[in-house]
Protein backbone atom coordinates (compact mmCIF):
# COMPACT_ATOMS: atom_id res chain seq x y z
CA UNK A 1 0.00 0.00 0.00
CA UNK A 2 1.40 3.37 -1.04
CA UNK A 3 -0.42 5.96 1.09
CA UNK A 4 2.09 8.66 0.20
CA UNK A 5 1.54 8.19 -3.51
CA UNK A 6 -2.22 8.40 -3.00
CA UNK A 7 -1.97 11.58 -0.92
CA UNK A 8 0.20 13.21 -3.59
CA UNK A 9 -2.18 12.10 -6.37
CA UNK A 10 -5.11 13.66 -4.51
CA UNK A 11 -3.21 16.86 -3.75
CA UNK A 12 -2.05 17.36 -7.32
CA UNK A 13 -5.48 16.42 -8.73
CA UNK A 14 -6.95 19.21 -6.63
CA UNK A 15 -4.13 21.60 -7.61
CA UNK A 16 -3.19 22.25 -3.98
CA UNK A 17 0.28 23.13 -2.78
CA UNK A 18 2.18 21.24 -0.10
CA UNK A 19 2.00 24.38 2.02
CA UNK A 20 -1.78 24.66 1.79
CA UNK A 21 -2.44 21.03 2.66
CA UNK A 22 0.14 20.98 5.45
CA UNK A 23 -1.36 24.09 7.02
CA UNK A 24 -4.90 22.70 6.81
CA UNK A 25 -3.77 19.39 8.32
CA UNK A 26 -1.74 21.05 11.07
CA UNK A 27 1.56 19.45 10.08
CA UNK A 28 4.81 20.80 8.67
CA UNK A 29 5.46 21.00 4.95
CA UNK A 30 8.55 18.83 5.34
CA UNK A 31 6.56 16.14 7.16
CA UNK A 32 3.87 16.12 4.46
CA UNK A 33 6.60 15.85 1.84
CA UNK A 34 8.09 12.86 3.66
CA UNK A 35 4.63 11.25 3.83
CA UNK A 36 4.08 11.76 0.11
CA UNK A 37 7.46 10.23 -0.66
CA UNK A 38 6.75 7.22 1.58
CA UNK A 39 9.57 8.17 3.95
CA UNK A 40 7.12 8.12 6.90
CA UNK A 41 4.30 5.72 7.73
CA UNK A 42 1.25 7.74 8.83
CA UNK A 43 -1.24 6.62 11.45
CA UNK A 44 -4.87 6.23 10.43
CA UNK A 45 -5.64 9.41 12.38
CA UNK A 46 -3.05 11.33 10.37
CA UNK A 47 -4.37 9.90 7.10
CA UNK A 48 -7.77 11.20 8.20
CA UNK A 49 -6.40 14.69 8.94
CA UNK A 50 -4.64 14.94 5.59
CA UNK A 51 -7.64 13.52 3.73
CA UNK A 52 -9.84 16.11 5.43
CA UNK A 53 -7.36 18.84 4.46
CA UNK A 54 -7.63 17.58 0.88
CA UNK A 55 -11.44 17.31 1.13
CA UNK A 56 -11.18 13.69 -0.02
CA UNK A 57 -12.91 10.79 1.75
CA UNK A 58 -10.48 8.43 3.49
CA UNK A 59 -11.80 5.38 1.57
CA UNK A 60 -10.80 7.07 -1.71
CA UNK A 61 -7.28 7.66 -0.38
CA UNK A 62 -7.06 4.03 0.78
CA UNK A 63 -8.35 2.76 -2.58
CA UNK A 64 -5.86 4.87 -4.53
CA UNK A 65 -3.08 3.63 -2.24
CA UNK A 66 -3.94 -0.02 -2.75
CA UNK A 67 -2.00 -2.27 -5.06
CA UNK A 68 -4.14 -4.35 -7.40
CA UNK A 69 -3.09 -7.46 -5.48
CA UNK A 70 -4.68 -5.93 -2.36
CA UNK A 71 -8.03 -5.41 -4.08
CA UNK A 72 -9.48 -8.88 -3.83
CA UNK A 73 -12.11 -9.54 -6.46
CA UNK A 74 -11.06 -6.70 -8.77
CA UNK A 75 -8.91 -7.37 -11.78
CA UNK A 76 -6.07 -4.96 -12.48
CA UNK A 77 -7.83 -3.28 -15.41
CA UNK A 78 -10.99 -2.56 -13.39
CA UNK A 79 -8.95 -1.21 -10.48
CA UNK A 80 -7.09 1.12 -12.86
CA UNK A 81 -10.38 2.37 -14.34
CA UNK A 82 -11.78 3.06 -10.86
CA UNK A 83 -8.59 4.92 -9.93
CA UNK A 84 -8.82 7.06 -13.05
CA UNK A 85 -12.49 7.82 -12.38
CA UNK A 86 -11.74 8.80 -8.78
CA UNK A 87 -8.95 11.15 -9.85
CA UNK A 88 -11.12 12.66 -12.60
CA UNK A 89 -13.82 13.38 -10.01
CA UNK A 90 -11.30 15.03 -7.70
CA UNK A 91 -10.10 17.27 -10.53
CA UNK A 92 -13.66 18.42 -11.27
CA UNK A 93 -14.36 19.67 -7.75
CATH of the domain at 9: 1.10.260.40
Mean pLDDT, all residues of the chain: 88
pTM (2 d.p.): 0.81
Query: What single DSSP character describes residue 69?
Result: G
Question: What average pLDDT does the segment 2-22 reach?
Answer: 95
* Predicted confidence band of residue 87 (pLDDT cuts 50, 70, 90): confident
Residue 1 has pLDDT above 70, yes or no: no
Counted domains in the chain: 1
Q: Which domain holds residue 26?
A: 3-92
Specify the pLDDT at position 33: 98
What CA–CA distance (Å, rounded) separates 38 from 2?
7
What CA–CA distance (Å, rounded) separates 83 from 92?
14
Amino acid sequence: MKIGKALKLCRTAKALSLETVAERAGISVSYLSRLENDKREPTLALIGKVAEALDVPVPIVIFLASDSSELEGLDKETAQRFSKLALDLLRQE
